């Protein structure tokens, strides 16, 4: 997703100037994506260059509002109509990290998995807490953004669970890192074998 389309969507509601756009953007994404005002103005300049928005005369207080053009509306409609493909998303650092952990000597992959799972779980708890705390009808947009992040965190944890199961099945259990002595105690099991 681009800030471009975010700003176009906001301008579709009506003309706005930079600071209004920034505030509206943050409000509609539940502050999960903070923007600085510089990003807003650079993006507006590019949108104007491409004919997707038009700047209007300055107001008495010296603010310059922008409005969306017909070309901008068409671009926005196309954006809403086009599904996001995996190629649009940044590379997934976590999957690359795990793949490298698996092939790098001396790395305890299960510890890497568990460290990530705890961290993601904690993020999921925080997101759930935020959702639980927002029950006003006007918070719906914010709750849907939270839901998206909650489902993404859940998917990541499920994938980590899956990785762990695969590791157990296909590789001998590596030694646990120090500092988690309770997890090392497999001696009883070994003795029975």
Residues engaged in binding other proteins (CB under 8 A): 26, 30-32, 34, 114, 117-118, 120-122, 124-130, 132-133, 150-151, 153-154, 157-158, 161, 164-165, 180, 182-183, 185-186, 188-189, 192
Cross-strand partners of 53: 68
Residue 139 beta carbon to other proteins: minimum distance, rounded to whole angstroms: 11
Residue 111 beta carbon to other proteins: minimum distance, rounded to whole angstroms: 10
The two three-digit tokens of residue 187, written as one number: 């001696």
Residue 180 beta carbon to other proteins: minimum distance, rounded to whole angstroms: 7
Nearest Cα neighbor of 30 from 186, 136, 153, 145 is: 145
Closer by beta carbon to other proteins, 106 or else 181: 181
Count of CA atoms in the C-beta half-sphere (13 A) of 118: 5
Q: Is 16 helix (H, G, I), strand (E, B) or coil?
A: strand
Closer by beta carbon to other proteins, 43 or else 116: 116
Closer by beta carbon to other proteins, 12 or else 126: 126
Closer by beta carbon to other proteins, 48 or else 139: 139
Q: What is the dihedral of CA 67, 68, 71, 77, to 10 degrees?
A: 180
Distance CA 95, CA 114 (A): 14
Residue 128 beta carbon to other proteins: minimum distance, rounded to whole angstroms: 4
């Amino acid at each position: 997703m681009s800030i471009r389309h975010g700003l176009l969507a906001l301008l579709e509601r009506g003309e706005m100037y930079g600071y209004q756009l920034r505030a509206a953007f943050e409000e509609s994404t539940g502050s999960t994506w903070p923007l600085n005002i510089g990003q807003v103005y650079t993006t507006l300049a590019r949108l104007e260059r491409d004919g997707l928005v038009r700047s209007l005369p300055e107001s008495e207080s010296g603010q310059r509002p922008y409005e969306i053009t017909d070309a901008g509306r068409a671009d926005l409609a196309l954006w809403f109509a086009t599904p996001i493909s995996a190629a649009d998303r940044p590379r997934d650092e976590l999957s690359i990290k795990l793949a490298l952990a698996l092939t790098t000597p001396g790395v305890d992959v299960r510890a890497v998995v568990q460290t990530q799972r705890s961290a993601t779980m904690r993020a999921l708890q925080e997101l759930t807490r935020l959702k639980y705390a927002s029950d006003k009808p006007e918070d719906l947009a914010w709750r849907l953004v939270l839901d998206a992040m909650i489902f993404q965190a859940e998917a990541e944890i499920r994938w980590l669970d899956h990785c762990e199961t695969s590791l157990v099945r296909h590789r001998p259990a590596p030694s646990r890192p120090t500092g988690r002595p309770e997890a090392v105690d497999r001696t009883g099991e070994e003795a029975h074998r």
